[in-house]
Amino acid sequence: LPLDILYEDEDILVLNKPADMPVHPSAGNYENTLANGVAWYYKQQGGNFVYRCINRLDRDTTGVLVLAKNPLSGALLSAQMKQRQIRRTYLALTDGIPPERGTVSAPIARMDDSVITREVNWEHGETAVTHYERLAVSNGYSLVELHLDTGRTHQIRVHMQYLGFPLVGDYLYNPDMEYIHRQALHSWKLSFIHPITKEPMEFTAELPKDMKKILI
């Protein structure tokens, strides 16, 4: 599987993940995953490999993610994630035009009749906070920048649907596939402190073509 490597040293590997690639094997996805691709990459180099993905992305969410290459960097990066020291910036295309900026603070829980779908649930949900800013508008769609204070499953997708501006092409929450065949969500920027050198690190991945064409 092809890998788009943004950065690599002896402690971390930063990748630009494509769409239609799960981050790890699961039922029905045993070989087409990022973990498989990275395992092969290191096998070709004759090295050992343990998969340590720090910021997981949904199968169809594109963009920057970081892997730890050893137990120490994995533990330190995981601690940064828990302490909300890793800043994740996403770009999304929404159906409709949301306010210029705002914050959604609404708890998220799994729907009772589904193992996948989530919803805002004020009684049983876990705390979830998303900040957003509208960057551009084209043909009734909006390019929105989003920052997460928490990392709930489907958080951006659920919160934008809750606002009334669901992501374009989201088969779970807005199944309109006219312009794109996946949720239009991209992990644009990732900022963190290098776990070993303590240097500030920041990586970006260009907006993919299938999202760009909707804005033209």
In angstroms, the CA 102 to CA 194 distance is: 30
Nearest alpha-carbon partner for 87 in 131, 24, 21, 142: 131
Which CA distances in Å does 10 have to 34, 67, 132, 158, 196? 19, 11, 35, 37, 10
pLDDT in tens, 162-206: 999 999 999 999 998 889 999 999 999 999 999 999 999 999 999
In angstroms, the CA 130 to CA 88 distance is: 11
Question: Which residues have C-beta within 8 Å of that of residue 108, sequence separation ≥ 6?
Answer: 118, 119, 120, 121, 125, 126, 128, 152, 153, 154, 155, 158, 159
User: Number of H helices and number of E strands within the chain?
Assistant: 4, 11
Q: Provide the Cα torsion 145, 51, 35, 181; round to 10°.
A: -20
User: What's the residue count for the chain?
Assistant: 216
| Prediction pTM value | 0.92
Provide the 3-class DSSP secondary structure of residue 203: strand
According to DSSP H, which parts of the chain are helical?
34-44, 71-82, 155-163, 209-215
Residue 49 has pLDDT above 90, yes or no: no
In angstroms, the CA 41 to CA 33 distance is: 13
The reply to whether 58 belongs to the active site is yes
pLDDT in tens, 72-92: 999 999 999 999 999 999 999
Residues 170-198 as b or e (16 or more Cβ within 10 Å = b): bebbbeeeebbebbbbbbbbbebeebeee
Joined together, the tokens standing for residue 15 give: 């990748």
Which position among 4, 9, 11, 58 bears the catalytic label?
Answer: 58
Provide the 3-class DSSP secondary structure of residue 11: coil
Q: Which range (45-59, 148-162, 195-209) has the least confidence?
A: 45-59
Question: Which secondary-structure segment (H or E) carries 145?
Answer: strand 141-148
Give the pLDDT confidence score for residue 28 in this predicted structure: 60
Residue 12 has pLDDT above 90, yes or no: yes
